[in-house]
Amino acid sequence: MDISDKSGKWMAIVNVYAASKKAGAYWAEAEKLLERYGVDFDSLSTGNGHNAMTLSLMACRDGYRKFIAAGGDGTIHDVLGGIGQYVSSGEADLTFSDFTIAVIPVGSGNDWIRTAGVPRDMAKAAALIGNGSVRKQDVVRVTAMGASFGDESANVSYMANVAGVGLDARVCDIVNRKKEQGFRGRKLYVGALLRCVMNRVPSKVRVICDGEEVFCGDYLSIAFGTGKYSGGGMRQTPSAIPDDGLLDMTIIPDLPLMRIVSQAYRLFTGSFLSVRELVVARCRQVTVLPCGRVDGECVEVDGEVIGNAPVTLEVMEDQINVVRP
């Protein structure tokens, strides 16, 4: 099979570590479902030194242009990351619009599919892939520069859903470490959020959106989204639209502890933006610059901590294809 033959065939990237390492067993069922719905696919599984991002990059180089992420939000992020590395490398004259991502949701974190409307049920998700329902979605390039502001060695990632700086990223760091210990569920996120709020250490930043300063001062957390959900159902960017070419941003300034606690429930009800102290913006590019120190708070993208601020997020010109209703 040459590269041109592979471009029309799906490559399933199976994260065997997803769902408390149960994803491999779930995938056996998913394979049968995909075959039932006439999906022509090959598959690669993580392990032996290869994560989902590495496997996706390898598959791009082998000629695959259609990917099934079998896992949770982290797997979707890694598959997009592998595609992003290939597109940005210039190895071929391709853009994100030449690629398609579908999802078989077998992970513990499934926030992306909530916005996309992809069924949690594997049979329905497989049927959706078989039906070929494809829509466009924005891709956001995230550059966490840390102490290397303007340096080519900065960490680059590609966002499919939600990113954050400050408290949001610290919560993700705690949750990821707990997941490695086998913990799961919404209570995990809520517990980490409360822990970070109780021990909060505000930092001062400048935030520049499309060349205009929209915030300068002490903050607790900043969330950026093309999707509405993160952290097991929290809605920090509840008005985000995945394909509008814009990035939604919500800044939580330094607030009194009781004010934070009294309004935290709104993260799960969709009414978060009604908190009057929040700073909300929508733009194509945003930069967060820490004040008074060389590098700032940690940065997370789709639940993965990638580095530290300063950080720039930019909506790419080209959109990727995603399988969704």
Residue 198 has a CB neighbour count (10 Å cut-off) of 10
Residues 268-284: tens digit of each pLDDT: 899 999 999 999 999 99
pLDDT score at 324: 96
Q: How far is CA 16 from CA 24, 44, 45, 72, 294, in A?
A: 5, 10, 6, 11, 39
pLDDT score at 86: 97
Average pLDDT over residues 307-322: 95
Name, of 21-25, 27-31, 48-52, 207-211, the range with top average pLDDT.
207-211
pLDDT score at 158: 97
- Residue 149, pLDDT above cutoff 80: no
pLDDT score at 183: 62
- Residue 39, pLDDT above cutoff 50: yes
* Torsion sign across C-alpha atoms 231, 18, 307, 322: negative
Average pLDDT over residues 1-30: 78
- Residue 152, pLDDT above cutoff 80: no
Residues 253-269: tens digit of each pLDDT: 999 888 988 998 898 89
User: What pLDDT band is residue 24 in, cutting at 50, 70 and 90?
Assistant: confident
Name the CA dihedral angle for 226, 227, 232, 233, rounded to a multiple of 10 degrees: 130
User: What pLDDT band is residue 237 in, cutting at 50, 70 and 90?
Assistant: very high
Decide which of 174 and 157 is more confident.
157
Domains and CATH numbers, the chain: 3-132 (3.40.50.10330), 140-317 (2.60.200.40)
User: What pLDDT band is residue 233 in, cutting at 50, 70 and 90?
Assistant: confident
Q: Over pLDDT 70: what percentage of the chain?
A: 87
Question: Of 70-79, 136-145, 169-178, 303-312, where does mean pLDDT reach its minimum?
Answer: 169-178
Q: How far is CA 141 from CA 45, 77, 158, 220, 301, in A?
A: 26, 12, 5, 23, 10
- Residue 191, pLDDT above cutoff 80: no
User: What pLDDT band is residue 150 in, cutting at 50, 70 and 90?
Assistant: very low
Residue 72 has a CB neighbour count (10 Å cut-off) of 24
Question: Of 134-143, 187-196, 305-314, where does mean pLDDT reach its minimum?
Answer: 187-196
Whether the CB-CB separation of 275 and 236 falls below 8 Å is answered with no
User: What pLDDT band is residue 115 in, cutting at 50, 70 and 90?
Assistant: very high
User: What pLDDT band is residue 229 in, cutting at 50, 70 and 90?
Assistant: very high
Look up residue 319 and give its DSSP letter.
Answer: P
Whether the CB-CB separation of 154 and 146 falls below 8 Å is answered with yes
Q: HEC states along 36-75?
A: HCCCCEEEEECECCECHHHHHHHHHHHCCCEEEEEECHHH
User: What pLDDT band is residue 180 in, cutting at 50, 70 and 90?
Assistant: low
230's tokens: 């993160």
What is the average pLDDT score of the chain? 88
Average pLDDT over residues 226-241: 92
β-strand partners of 294 = none
